[in-house]
Structure 1
Amino acid sequence: PRSPDGARTALLSPAMSSPSSAHWLSLVGTIWLQTINGPNSDFPVYSSQLKELKGISQVQLNFLAFASDAGKLFGWFSGVAALYVPLPLVAFVGASFGLVGYGVQYLFLDSPGLKCWHLFLLTALAGNGICWINTVCYLLCIKNFASRSRVAVSLATSYLGLSAKVYTSLAESLPRLADSKAKTYLLLNAVVPMIVTVFVAPALRLFDLKTDSMASTDTAFLVMFAITLATGACAVVGSIGSTASGLSSREHMISLSVLLAVPMLIPAALKIRQSMNKIWEAKRENRIHDLGSDDAVVVIEVMDLETKEEEIVAAEEDPQEEVGGLQLLKKPDFWLYFFSYMFSGTLGLVFLNNLGQIAESRGLGQTSTLVSLSSSFGFFGRLLPSFMDYYSAK
């Protein structure tokens, strides 16, 4: 017969291998990365000033608006790199591209030697860095939430819509950061992604999720949805209130920062629950230790059978399919996504990139307000698919 020590090992192993708090911490890090991973979205705010400062034409300005997306054409390099290097390093490379791309523009913006084609290449480099950070975020969501990967990806990427709102709020809260509006945004675009990447780097890890609880995951996602809705509402109210009631930009930035930090409560609560489970398992171990060896064997065999059944069910519910690059080109879903994004998303980019000049042509002095509003409502538009994915997967 087996010894009670064997019962002790069998009972404690499932609890010890559960990484629920850790993988939710990685999702929080992903959300923070996505929140600041749209530095190109604030281009409309300072595009007019950049046009006057560098003496460029409207056609050249349109090329600069396209530069960030041109850099994303080479975003597949980040996917290849993620196969061979750790994810924190991939994110750091992406942030470094942004630091160099926008940082050089900030340092030499007033120099006549910085030509339009220099600005194009530097902005393209920064745009490519966005892809590196996105790759890390997508991999973390897909790998760490195997049963709810679509929901995790949709939820995290919805925060990308808040990027323009966050950068405009930071610029308004720190008006003396630089001697011009254009340099203020360029400095924020260069520094903020690097700071956030360094801060969240320890959480950017992959975990095995075979032992995660579906019920606890669903509950955590519902809480996350509530936090996300509150964050979006704060962004909209802050954008409208800044013009209607003279709401302090600094106070609004503080409230938005608090709501962005609230998701940390989810991994903290799960960590506390894990600690309580360990205490409960320790007490249960002491009770089993007092049982006879035959009773311990029965407990072990029942738990082993339940564990195997759960693994079989999880494998059947979540089949994984690896698709290569050439096979991807043969998939109708790929081309459907490709053409739908090319013919629909591109129109939105053209509008948003010229939003600042549209606002000025309509006599609006505060172009950042319109950019903030479009960013806030775009956040809700990105959030809608995550609700659909959540309920369709149930």
Structure 2
Amino acid sequence: MAGQSRKWMILVATIWIQAFTGTNFDFSAYSSELKSVLRISQVQLNYLAVASDLGKVFGWSSGLALMYFPIWTVLFAAAFMGFVGYGVPVADVEHTRIRQCGVQWLVITNFISLPYIVVFLCCLLAGLSICWFNTVCFVLCISNFPANRSLALSLTVSFNGVSAALYTLAYNAINPTSPELYLLLNALIPLVISFTAIIPILRQPPFEPLPPDGVRRDSLMFLILNILAALNGVYLLLFESNSSALTSARLLFGGAILLLILPLCIPGLVIARNWYLRTIHTSFRLEGSGFILVDPDELELHKGMLAHEANRESYQLLTDDVVPNPVKTIAVEEGDADESSCCKKLITRGQLELLGIEHSLWQLLSRADFWFYYVAYFCGGTIGLVYSNNLGQIAQSLGQSSNTTTLVTLYSSFSFFGRLLSATPDYIRAKVYFARTGWLAIALLPTPIALFLLASSGTASALQVGTALMGLSSGFIFAAAVSITSELFGPNSVGVNHNILITNIPIGSLIYGFLAALVYDSHGTTGIKSMTDSVVCMGRGCYHMTFVWWGCLSVLGLGSSLVLFIRTRKAYQRFEQARISSNIDS
């Protein structure tokens, strides 16, 4: 009983860590000020955004650290990397006291002057700290919720998307006239949260296998947590715009913190589980989770059934005469017989037959499915991330500088909802089953719609709608990526393989950001010059061609995701039929 309660405490601690460590999402809130102080061009500012994303290239180092050090050590290493990247204690001799001043904060307030390369390295270190925080959270979720790890991961990762909205509320509650305050909060809050979360992490319970009813009971708890998370997102979305007054901002920030504390009631619900089993769970049954990480027992059964079918010289799915199928399967019809050989090769060559097969590095890189997946991510979620990095300059160019924090919160909130929606397949799989790669294709659809909308209109409403769609799409992709990687290329290799996949983020950040910066600076002659000689472009032309190019590339990503779906849907169908047959036999 105590062990079950402690694992939920760990989940709450993981939620807190994720909610306050997505510090890269508020870059656009202070980027214009940073650009002005450093007297740099838009291209150089883009390199600072790239530096933060470049930390993901070294994300493998967190896994290596976990092999030799306890998890709490890695957690505090991440916290101190972020503290150094955003802030270090500096003695203020004039006031004879110690001030907590961020490295970037010291630069942006003109307290000190640092070379551009040093600021670049600080951004790199801050970005790396986020990867280390994420790795700690992934390990905690997987080790404490092996049967429902999909729901645990999708829930906790979703809170990473709301970080910018929480920091905006904190900023408005303290000093809404100081953009550099974001950097100071980025330095201090993750460190404070790490100290808060260390107690449940140190008291981590030993692994206890759950019976089937225990798995379903945990699924119900996750449903309650998802409802609380949705309330949190709605709260931030509706009330952030009303936080202009200092008193109301403080009250709203207190309300957001209260909503983050509410999940602490879950350990109490675990203790009262018998009441829940008698009243709610008997009338509302949830199937076990299977979205992000493939259950090893189900995979073994799946492979055995396929071997049996192979002996009969066929990989045909079970028919309705043999096994009644209560699941509705959505699939694309087979191509016509006269389909061109080129298209047939594209769809069938090297096609996956089984889910969950472990892939080594060489096998991963030599598989076509990985590269379709890579392109889909590169031309989808990564564009959304680069868009958020440029949101400050986009708003400024359209004369919406005063609404920058509102737009940051809008992107953050809808990214949060997108991440929450990534758990939807778990809850509807008993009614409608759809391949995970198909959900990826659907999630990519809002991105080209948003970008072409932004290219065609420069109004405030178009900017808000486009920002919301970009956040929704990229949030879903970020949360679902771990699931798809583990299912297609093996759950045991997901740490290495997923880090290889997300190398597209710094590459895309560099290419897309550089493209946007070139277009921006090229229109600077039609804009104005700031007092620091930094080019400030005004008008729709500053980002019009950027939106067009990004939109065309996102269409390419959508096409790549559709090809990936068609290539992998049979493997998903076989896996689901094996799961259904197992449930019927038991």
Range into which the TM-score falls when normalised by the shorter chain = 0.7 to 0.9
Q: Is the 8 A contact 2:86 2:122 kept in 1?
A: yes
Q: Is the 8 A contact 2:30 2:179 kept in 1?
A: yes
Aligned to 2:194: 197
- Measure the CA separation in 2 of the matches of 1:318 and 1:22: 29
Q: Is the 8 A contact 2:169 2:243 kept in 1?
A: no
Q: Is the 8 A contact 2:172 2:243 kept in 1?
A: no
Instruction: Indicate yes or no: 2:236 matched with 1:255.
Output: no
Structure 1 position 51, deviation (Å):
1.0
Structure number with greater CO (CA < 8 Å, separation at least 6) is 1
**In 2 relative to 1, CA 318–209 (structure 1 residues): closer, same or farther, beyond 3 Å?**
farther
Structure 1 position 190, deviation (Å):
0.5
Aligned to 1:340: 376
Instruction: Indicate yes or no: 2:385 matched with 1:349.
Output: yes
Gaps of 5+ in 2: 88-102, 275-294, 301-355, 432-586
Name the SS of the counterpart of 1:147 in structure 2.
Answer: coil
Amino acid paired to 1:389: D
Instruction: Indicate yes or no: 2:209 matched with 1:210.
Output: yes
Matches for 1:59-98 after TM superposition, within 5 Å? 59-98=43-82
- What does the per-residue CA deviation read over 1:261-315, in whole Å, with 9 as the maximum and x for residues that have no partner? 11110023224559xxxxxxxxxxxxxxxxxxxxxxxxxxxxxxxxxxxxxxx97
- Measure the CA separation in 1 of the matches of 2:25 and 2:189: 14
Amino acid paired to 2:179: K
Q: Is the 8 A contact 2:84 2:187 kept in 1?
A: yes
Aligned to 1:159: 159
The more displaced of 105-114 and 129-138 is 105-114
Higher share of residues assigned helix: 1
- What does the per-residue CA deviation read over 1:189-235, in whole Å, with 9 as the maximum and x for residues that have no partner? 01111110111012233641303612321220111111111111101
The more displaced of 226-235 and 335-344 is 335-344
**In 2 relative to 1, CA 249–333 (structure 1 residues): closer, same or farther, beyond 3 Å?**
farther
**In 2 relative to 1, CA 265–112 (structure 1 residues): closer, same or farther, beyond 3 Å?**
closer
- Measure the CA separation in 2 of the matches of 1:265 and 1:112: 46
Q: Is the 8 A contact 1:141 1:153 kept in 2?
A: yes
Gaps of 5+ in 1: 1-15, 275-313
**In 2 relative to 1, CA 33–149 (structure 1 residues): closer, same or farther, beyond 3 Å?**
same
- What does the per-residue CA deviation read over 1:52-80, in whole Å, with 9 as the maximum and x for residues that have no partner? 11111111111111111011110100011
**In 2 relative to 1, CA 322–261 (structure 1 residues): closer, same or farther, beyond 3 Å?**
farther
User: Could you tell me which of 412, 415, 418 is aligned with 1:381?
Assistant: 418
Structure 1 position 330, deviation (Å):
5.7
Structure 1 position 106, deviation (Å):
2.2
Aligned to 1:303: none
Matches for 1:1-394 after TM superposition, within 5 Å? 19-103=3-87, 104-109=103-108, 110-111=110-111, 113-175=113-175, 180-182=178-180, 184-204=181-201, 205=204, 207-211=206-210, 213-242=214-243, 248-271=248-271, 316-317=297-298, 329=365, 334-364=370-400, 365-392=402-429
Amino acid paired to 1:218: S
**In 2 relative to 1, CA 385–111 (structure 1 residues): closer, same or farther, beyond 3 Å?**
same
- Normalised to the residue count of structure 1, the TM-score between the two structures is 0.78
- Measure the CA separation in 2 of the matches of 1:255 and 1:40: 24
Name the SS of the counterpart of 2:422 in structure 1.
Answer: helix
Structure 1 position 88, deviation (Å):
1.3
- Normalised to the residue count of structure 2, the TM-score between the two structures is 0.53
- Measure the CA separation in 2 of the matches of 1:88 and 1:232: 29
**In 2 relative to 1, CA 143–324 (structure 1 residues): closer, same or farther, beyond 3 Å?**
farther
**In 2 relative to 1, CA 138–47 (structure 1 residues): closer, same or farther, beyond 3 Å?**
same
Q: Is the 8 A contact 1:241 1:247 kept in 2?
A: no
Number of aligned residue pairs: give it.
338
Q: Is the 8 A contact 2:16 2:260 kept in 1?
A: yes
- Measure the CA separation in 2 of the matches of 1:334 and 1:165: 34
- Measure the CA separation in 2 of the matches of 1:171 and 1:189: 11
Percent pairwise identity? 42
CA RMSD of aligned residues (A): 2.9
